[in-house]
Amino acid sequence: MSKMNDAELRRRLEQLAGVQPSPEATSRAMDRVRRTILETEGQQARKSLGRILMNSKWSKFAVAAAIVVTVLIGLQFIGGSSVTFAEAVKSLEPILKANAAALDILVGPEDPNAPVIHDMVMGSRIRRTMSNIPGNVSIIDLESKRILNLTEEKKEAIYIDLKGLPAIPNYLESLKNTIVQLQDSPHFEVEDLGVREIDGHEAVGFLAKHPRIEIKVWADARTGLPVRIESKEGQMNVICRNLQFDMKMDEALFSMEVPEGYKLQQPMELDLNSATEADFIEGLRILAETFNDGQFPDGVAVEDFLKQVPMIQEKGKKLGLSQEQDTALGKKLQQYLLFTRFFKGEGKWYYRGKGVKLGEADKAIFWYRPKGSQTYRVIYGDLRVEDVARENLPEPLPADDVFEPGAGYQQWSKPEFVGSQADYCYVQPDGKVRVGAYLTLIKGPKDTSLMPIRLPYAKAPLESVQLSGPGQEAKDFVPLPFHKTGEGTYNVELPLDKLAAGQTMLICQWHRPLDEFSLEQGKRWTDLKSLIPVISYKLRVGVDPNSGFELTLPPKDTWAEPFTWNNVDIPRSQFGRCVVPVRKHQ
């Protein structure tokens, strides 16, 4: 993209008009002039691509997918910057008070030929244009989860309903919430990047690291407002630049009403979470078999697909498909694209299909680990799939490929302890429930060896606390001293040397009569509370064969699991209530 800045555009406008334009007129005119100048500087190829994109029925699905896959990038991870991250969060205040914002977004590496997304933001709505699809405008309403897509040349409008997208009433307000959540996460780290010049500004930078995202923010050293943001979430790299805040915008530009003179097309629905492995494989087959002379695409990321569109369109014209076939083909490619964009596996995915032909059964072209799986799914050139252990993968994986919470104990500057907990409730023949709370410590206050805990029921006294490590047998567990400090509250003495050595699991035990669990409509209920704030919590229930009780849920390894929760960003200690899945033996 041309490096022409606003000052140069303003100079040309003044020469053309002979007068100093108003700020509002300048803002509107700059967009028109920028497009005109770029077209005269060799951008006709992109314009042609835009016409090709919108001339086919099925390609509307591909365009819709391209628009939607970038809905949640850009502003959601913007934050201010200063000397410290705490000050950076405070510097968000002027942004949140802004009525509107605008920015340019690049997906992938900063290539001058890469498509540029331009977003104007007001409240929950985004007005989006893309440099490689001129004449196409999308109004995205994040609160109603709907897109109005307008094709200016053909005067056509279409509504796209989104499934799997959270409602966001105010995009700017969500900025601070996201940053604050990351800041409060026990897995969040910040690195000071110092001062450098960014786009003509003296800027202060920091790198915010989290297992699921990295954000590099450069902010004006004087105002604290961000001038450039680079984020990496999963395998999507995003650059945000040319940021502006609190400029005047016409609310009519964000209207979700179909403009006068436009013809409304049949509405579409896009489920962001519906793509499966089978959809991805079918997309690979279609691209290789139908559009790429039997060869798999060079890449499968969003930016790769956008580069492949001209070739797909050109060959698509020669297929002679019916409207129904066009639509079916477009939907399949849409699902293929969503699989990697909203990847639901663990860690990273790996693609090695470049240069491989469909049918080459000995070549692995893609592998990933499904969520919760111990093995990887490997797709080969003949599109068969095999489950493969990590050590048998086609290539060694990076050591940091998969984030595993709770791997080691770290001290931090905050006053809270954070962990993960699993409660095992076992109904005994004497009518009591033995509770074992398995608490794995993740982080705790620096040089603090006294940890306060609170049991869910004050009348059920704590009986023992033991410390264990990976692979340790029960005979090697270390008893820990504890002291009662109030009704249901205790202080546990922690051996910091053993925690640092990897012994991070505490096993706390107490008993409570089953009759004391709340009885409502013939069912026993329990409060769900952890001993300290945790990022994951689960409840498992079992029964002694001689207790006279049985489980009402299918057990797994003798245990039923009626409740599970996890969120690596927001530690909690209360999770509501649930039914204890036991009943008198029938």
Q: Identify which has the larger pLDDT, 305 or 551.
A: 551
Extended strands (E) in 544-571: 549-551, 560-566
Q: Which amino acid is at 195?
A: V
For range 262-276, the mean pLDDT: 86
Tell me whether residue 69 is exposed, middle or buried, using C-beta atoms within 10 angstroms of its C-beta: 0 to 12, 13 to 18, 19 or more. buried
Tell me how far apart the alpha carbons of residues 221 and 227 are, in angstroms, rounded to a whole number: 10
Neighbours of 371 (CB within 10 A): 10
Highest-pLDDT range among 53-67, 203-217, 515-529: 515-529
Strand partners of residue 146:
141, 161
In degrees, rounded to 5, the angle at the alpha carbon of residue 554 between the alpha carbons of residues 435 and 374 is 85
From the list 467, 119, 16, the residue with the least C-alpha distance to 128 is: 119
Please say if the pLDDT value at position 366 is more than 70.
yes
Tell me how far apart the alpha carbons of residues 121 and 142 are, in angstroms, rounded to a whole number: 11
CATH 2.60.40.1180 boundaries in the chain: 410-584
177 backbone dihedrals φ, ψ, rounded to 5°:
-60, -45
Q: Give residue 62's Cα distance to chain centre.
A: 22
Distances (CA, A) of 539 to 80, 457, 489, 530, 580: 40, 15, 21, 10, 9
pLDDT tier at 4 (50, 70, 90 boundaries)? very low
From the list 419, 424, 567, the residue with the least C-alpha distance to 499 is: 419
Q: Where are the alpha helices (DSSP H) in 113-211?
A: 171-184
From the list 214, 248, 242, the residue with the least C-alpha distance to 227 is: 242
Tell me how far apart the alpha carbons of residues 179 and 211 are, in angstroms, rounded to a whole number: 14
Tell me how far apart the alpha carbons of residues 140 and 155 are, in angstroms, rounded to a whole number: 18
For range 261-287, the mean pLDDT: 90
Average pLDDT, the chain: 78
Contact 227, 220 (CB under 8 A): yes
Three-class SS string for 360-420? CCCCEEEEEECCCCCCEEEEECCCCEEEECHHHCCCCCCCCCCCCCCCCCEEECCCCCEEE
Please say if the pLDDT value at position 477 is more than 60.
yes
Q: Does residue 108 come out as left (phi exceeding 0), alpha (psi in the -120 to 50 range) or beta? A: left
3-state helix, strand and coil shares in percent for the chain, rounded to the nearest 5: 25, 35, 40
Task: Give me the count of residues in the chain.
Answer: 586
Tell me how far apart the alpha carbons of residues 131 and 30 are, in angstroms, rounded to a whole number: 15
- What's the sign of the alpha-carbon dihedral 469, 427, 487, 461? negative
Angle between helices 23-40 and 6-17 (to 10 degrees): 100
| 272 CB-near residues (< 8 Å, 6+ apart) | 68, 162, 163, 164, 165, 338, 342
Strand partners of residue 232:
214, 237
Neighbours of 367 (CB within 10 A): 23
Extended strands (E) in 405-459: 410-412, 418-427, 432-445, 450-454
Highest-pLDDT range among 244-248, 265-269, 540-544: 540-544
CATH 2.50.20.10 boundaries in the chain: 79-264
Please say if the pLDDT value at position 34 is more than 60.
no
Please say if the pLDDT value at position 67 is more than 60.
no
Tell me whether residue 5 is exposed, middle or buried, using C-beta atoms within 10 angstroms of its C-beta: 0 to 12, 13 to 18, 19 or more. exposed
Report DSSP letters for 197-265, one per residue. EETTEEEEEEEEEETTEEEEEEEETTT--EEEEEEEETTEEEEEEEEEES----GGGG--SPPTTPEEP
Q: Three-state SS for 126?
A: strand
Highest-pLDDT range among 18-22, 122-126, 303-307, 462-466: 462-466
From the list 242, 227, 243, 245, the residue with the least C-alpha distance to 81 is: 227
Angle between helices 323-341 and 59-68 (to 10 degrees): 20
Distances (CA, A) of 142 to 176, 340, 583: 17, 22, 45
May I ask the CATH architecture of the domain 410-584?
A: Sandwich (2.60)
Q: Which of 32-36, 265-269, 300-304, 410-414 has the lowest mean pLDDT?
A: 32-36
Please say if the pLDDT value at position 114 is more than 60.
yes
Q: What is the DSSP letter of 25?
A: H
> In this predicted model, what pLDDT tens digit does every residue of 515-571 receive, in sequence order?
899 888 888 999 999 999 999 999 999 998 889 999 988 876 678 989 998 887 789
Fold of 79-264: outer membrane lipoprotein receptor (LolB), chain A (2.50.20)
Contact 428, 416 (CB under 8 A): no
Q: Which amino acid is at 427?
A: V
